[in-house]
């Protein structure tokens, strides 16, 4: 019997096929008309061929015509299959207890093993928020793992997505059924609508209800607070808490615990209320009076913690959040240098801004913001003589984005630690400013020269960080500066990384960065060769105003000789040394002595991530010629009567210094104040401004403090200048239109709808909206706002996490931003307390076309009675048989083409058969008769 199996399989496959036509009436009509016409014409015109050849030609021609007619009717080979494909849909969402999920997997494995027939297929799809194929439909029994491998988000139930995926995964050659194992508590999508579509497509639906009822649950329903309020206005914060635990004999159902309320702005949180509460069965409302004396966005979070964990099985629903926007006057964030000798220098500026009704928050540079959300309460940010190394790349990106996309202002004040002198060259901040931080005029500033000696480091990722820090130092140099890198290359000994050793950065910056990336520092045996090489290279930079050397090492090479150190001193080359992972005090002392002897600075580093800031600071020493100082003083001149200078008349009081920059050649750049010294036209900017994206950026290259602008302090125009300058940079305030904002949450997506009207209630069209969203994780989400109708603007963004989402939309340059938000509650997954049997029974009652309704596979004891559940066969063949087909017309065309060639051959070639009797006679052993003459026409 085993040998007959392939034969029986082949017979079964053959009997499953039959032929059909896509256009059967076309085939019949053409056959009734064309074939008789072929015979009528051919019988008269082929008489000369003789009776045999004429009849053969007519038959072949008829066959050719019939085959082409059948091909035109699109002959198809249809197959009716006895196979069945069953796909199990497993609900892995958190509304189902973990022990129930394990029983569900066991049920699926046993059902497939006991009921699947030989030719049937079985597959498994798991789902939560999304759906994934755990096992594709397969004709062998493969068990599902106890812990499914396909990752799904368990905080939501999207049964409709799983059903769509199943429908797309069914093969065409089998009847189809899904077996849905779930509690039916969907909170995304529409499962009933999808079930109706599946039934219409001939898919059967069985359901296995997962039953449970939780003993009791405490749910923080919501946290209510007005979304907009005024500063100092009393607010009533309401917390709605439900206790679903029913009272029983001997148990009142009360749950005790701690209810705490926190308030946060940015990433800072404070506890505003914390009390012990007793929750009787049902709902209870707690009210907390609040009064906020600062403007901005504030998030509130209420959390309930039970005394006994058994009283509350789902902690996810014990938390609710909300937000409020406190209105106030304009706010400015002023960031100053935190170093002891520089902190507090801008008290005069702060008082000047306060006189203009501007609230100022002063923050030292070692306590910077950590997210874009922290910048949103401020309408402008002032960088007050702060060096670049105090900021991370991410914080720089936040500052630029806050101006370009969020419409806030950005002001940079001059000083020894600002602009190019502060290492800000070649950063995103430079792109946002109306001036470039590098100088292109050789008449204004002498060049700087920086050499770096790299020695292999033994600390983790030390060599990688050497490349990073060398690149950061190179980026801080101007295009006219010299730069060179010395490394120990093994067989090639100590040498320059590129030629010439000290090269002008200019257009070679990209090449230098590429060479640095490929550099592999070696273990240098002694300091002298590198120091001598650096001295010679730096000495050749005759026109360099400052020549500086940075050396990084663990200190174990042979100490430098007195002769090598004296050579550096004679050439006035300063050396800063960085001891990275030094082996001991002796090695550190070698590095320290080298820096001290040459007037440089010594650093000892054990954490390589600190190296970039050190090298940025050291590279700035080469940029110090960017500072122009004249202690005799000089008076800035008004070049353009900008509104920042309203009420300020020439002559201005003198200043003693500023940072040299280069005005950007851009039509939006407006230079308001210039210096008469030095004489270069493009490098004497004192005050410049422009619109950058949706915000405004201002560059004041002098410092506004007692160092360079001492004569300004106490001058009545000082307060006016500073106040008007910062006020101009701030986000626009006041209503410049009527904007109605609506938000809607559906299927994990927030839909933002803005209706825009002008003062005359006419639609505002073609606004250049830009926006961003800051979610509960404080990460920004880009917001694409498009106009869909007159005055109507729409945007959509994902809101997968529960919490408050801050939305900022700017209608365009010069318009006040729209601030709103939406609170996304925790998923309804954590509100489900029992099985949604109504939905499951409705889906099972749907009958596919030509088949029977599905089955509700259940038992009062659920999966505890697995044998009872398995009595229902999900692989029963009560569905319409699957029919599939494939084109066969091209086979007919092939055969017809061959027959057409035979038809031509019969009509054009006469072949004699006189040789046939002779061949027969010879084979029979008789003497063949003489052959008659053959003629070929």
pLDDT, averaged per 10 consecutive residues of the chain (937 residues), comes to 42 55 68 69 63 71 77 74 91 87 92 89 93 90 85 90 94 90 91 94 93 78 79 83 82 88 79 91 89 78 88 83 77 87 83 89 88 82 91 90 87 91 87 87 66 73 72 80 83 80 88 86 84 92 86 82 91 86 72 88 72 67 73 91 90 92 90 83 86 91 91 90 93 70 86 89 88 78 90 91 82 78 80 85 90 90 87 89 73 80 71 64 66 48
Residue 731 is predicted with a pLDDT of: 85
Distance CA(274)–CA(293), nearest Å, equals 21
Contact 136, 169 (CB under 8 A): yes
Contact 809, 769 (CB under 8 A): yes
Helix H or strand E segment including 45: helix 24-45
Residue 616 is predicted with a pLDDT of: 65
Provide the β-strand partners of residue 251. 248
Q: What is the DSSP string of 128-183?
A: SSSEEEEEEEESS--PPPSS-SS---TTS--HHHHHHHHHHH--TTSEEEEEEEE-
Helix H or strand E segment including 873: none
Contact 667, 651 (CB under 8 A): no
Q: Which of 426, 417, 429, 348 is nearest to 386 (CA)?
A: 417
Q: Which of 350, 300, 353 is nearest to 329 (CA)?
A: 353
Helix H or strand E segment including 380: strand 380-384
Collapsing DSSP states into helix, strand and coil, what is residue 707?
Answer: coil
Cα separation values, 837 from 193, 271, 844, Å: 16, 43, 11
Collapsing DSSP states into helix, strand and coil, what is residue 73?
Answer: coil
Distance CA(135)–CA(149), nearest Å, equals 10
Residue 739 is predicted with a pLDDT of: 87
Residue 196 is predicted with a pLDDT of: 94
Contact 335, 410 (CB under 8 A): no
3-state helix, strand, coil in the chain (%, to 5): 30, 30, 35
Distance CA(498)–CA(516), nearest Å, equals 10
Residue 517 is predicted with a pLDDT of: 84
Provide the β-strand partners of residue 798. 749
């Amino acid at each position: 019997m085993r040998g007959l199996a392939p034969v029986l399989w082949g017979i079964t496959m053959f009997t499953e096929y039959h032929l059909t036509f896509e256009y059967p009436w076309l085939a019949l009509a053409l056959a009734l008309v064309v074939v008789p016409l072929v015979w009528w014409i051919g019988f008269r015109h082929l008489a000369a061929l003789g009776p045999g050849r004429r009849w053969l030609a007519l038959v072949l021609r008829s066959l050719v015509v019939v085959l082409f007619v059948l091909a035109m009717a699109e002959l198809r080979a249809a197959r009716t299959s006895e196979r069945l494909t069953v796909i199990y849909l497993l609900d892995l969402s958190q509304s189902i207890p973990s022990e129930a999920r394990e029983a569900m997997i066991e049920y699926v494995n046993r059902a497939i093993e006991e009921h699947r027939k030989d030719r049937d297929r079985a597959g498994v799809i798991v789902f939560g928020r999304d759906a994934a194929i755990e096992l594709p439909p397969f004709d062998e029994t493969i068990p599902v793992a106890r812990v499914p491998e396909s990752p799904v988000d368990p905080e939501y139930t999207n049964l409709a997505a799983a059903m769509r995926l199943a429908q797309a995964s069914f093969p065409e050659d089998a009847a189809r059924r899904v077996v849905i194992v779930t509690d039916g508590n969907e909170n995304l999508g529409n499962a009933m609508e999808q079930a109706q579509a599946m039934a219409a497509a001939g898919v059967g639906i069985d359901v296995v209800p997962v039953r449970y009822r939780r003993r009791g649950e405490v749910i923080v329903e919501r946290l209510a607070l007005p979304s907009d309020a005024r500063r100092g206005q009393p607010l009533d914060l309401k917390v709605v808490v439900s206790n679903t635990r029913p009272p029983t004999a001997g148990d009142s159902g009360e749950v005790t615990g701690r209810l705490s309320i926190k308030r946060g702005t940015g990433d800072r949180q404070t506890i505003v209320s914390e009390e012990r509460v007793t929750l009787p069965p049902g709902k209870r409302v707690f009210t907390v009076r609040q009064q906020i004396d600062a403007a901005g966005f504030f998030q509130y979070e209420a959390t309930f913690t039970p005394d006994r964990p058994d009283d509350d099985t789902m902690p996810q629903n014990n938390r609710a959040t909300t937000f409020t926007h406190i209105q106030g006057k304009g706010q400015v964030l002023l960031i100053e240098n935190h170093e002891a000798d520089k902190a507090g220098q801008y008290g005069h500026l702060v008082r000047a801004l306060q006189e203009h009704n501007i609230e100022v928050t002063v923050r030292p540079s070692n306590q910077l913001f950590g997210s874009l959300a922290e910048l949103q309460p401020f309408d402008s940010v002032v960088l007050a003589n702060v060096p670049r190394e105090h900021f991370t790349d991410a914080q720089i990106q936040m500052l630029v984005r806050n101006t370009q996309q969020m419409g806030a202002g950005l002001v940079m004040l001059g000083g020894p630690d600002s602009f190019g002198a502060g290492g800000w060259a070649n950063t995103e901040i430079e792109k946002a400013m109306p001036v470039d931080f590098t100088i292109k005029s050789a008449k204004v500033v002498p060049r700087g020269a920086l050499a770096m000696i790299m020695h292999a480091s033994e600390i983790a990722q030390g060599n990688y960080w050497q490349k990073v820090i060398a690149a950061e130092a190179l980026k801080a140099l101007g295009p006219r500066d010299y730069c060179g890198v010395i490394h120990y290359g093994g067989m090639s000994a100590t040498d320059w990384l590129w030629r010439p050793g000290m090269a002008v950065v200019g257009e070679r910056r990209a090449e230098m960065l590429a060479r640095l990336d490929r550099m592999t520092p070696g273990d240098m045996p002694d300091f002298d060769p590198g120091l001598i090489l650096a001295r010679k290279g730096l000495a050749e930079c005759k026109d360099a105003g400052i020549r500086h050397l940075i050396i990084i090492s663990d200190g174990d090479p042979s100490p430098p000789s007195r002769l090598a150190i004296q050579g550096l001193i004679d050439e006035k080359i300063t050396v800063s040394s960085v001891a990275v992972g030094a082996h001991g005090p002796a090695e550190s002392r070698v590095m320290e002595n080298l820096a001290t002897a040459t007037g440089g600075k010594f650093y000892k580093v054990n954490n390589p991530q600190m190296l970039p800031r050190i090298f940025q600071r050291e590279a700035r020493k080469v940029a110090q010629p960017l500072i122009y100082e004249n202690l005799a003083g000089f008076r800035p001149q008004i070049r353009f009567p900008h509104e920042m200078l309203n009420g300020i008349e020439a002559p201005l009081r003198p200043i003693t210094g500023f940072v040299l920059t280069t005005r950007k050649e851009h039509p939006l750049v407006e230079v308001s104040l210039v210096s008469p010294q030095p004489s270069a036209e493009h490098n004497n900017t004192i005050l410049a401004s422009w619109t950058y994206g949706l915000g405004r950026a201002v560059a004041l290259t002098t410092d506004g403090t007692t160092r360079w602008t001492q004569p300004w302090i106490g001058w009545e125009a000082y307060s006016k200048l500073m106040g008007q300058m910062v006020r101009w940079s701030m986000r626009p305030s006041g209503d410049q239109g009527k904007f109605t904002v609506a938000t809607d949450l559906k299927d994990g997506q927030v839909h933002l709808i803005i209706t825009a009207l002008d003062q005359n209630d006419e639609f505002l069209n073609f606004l250049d909206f830009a926006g961003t969203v800051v979610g509960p994780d404080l990460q920004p989400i880009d917001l694409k706002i498009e106009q869909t109708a007159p005055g109507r603007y729409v945007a959509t963004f994902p809101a997968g996490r529960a919490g408050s989402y801050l939305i900022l939309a700017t209608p365009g340059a010069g318009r006040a931003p729209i601030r709103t938000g939406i609170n996304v509650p925790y998923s309804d997954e954590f509100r489900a307390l029992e099985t949604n049997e109504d939905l499951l029974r409705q889906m099972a009652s749907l009958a596919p076309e030509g088949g029977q309704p599905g089955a509700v596979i259940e038992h009062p004891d659920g999966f505890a009675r697995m044998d009872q559940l398995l009595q229902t066969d999900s692989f029963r063949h009560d569905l319409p048989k699957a029919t599939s087909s494939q084109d066969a017309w091209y086979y007919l065309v092939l055969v017809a083409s061959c027959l057409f060639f035979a038809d031509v051959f019969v009509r054009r070639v006469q072949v004699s058969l006189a040789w046939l009797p002779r061949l027969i006679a010879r084979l029979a052993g008789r003497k063949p008769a003489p052959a008659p003459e053959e003629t070929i026409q």
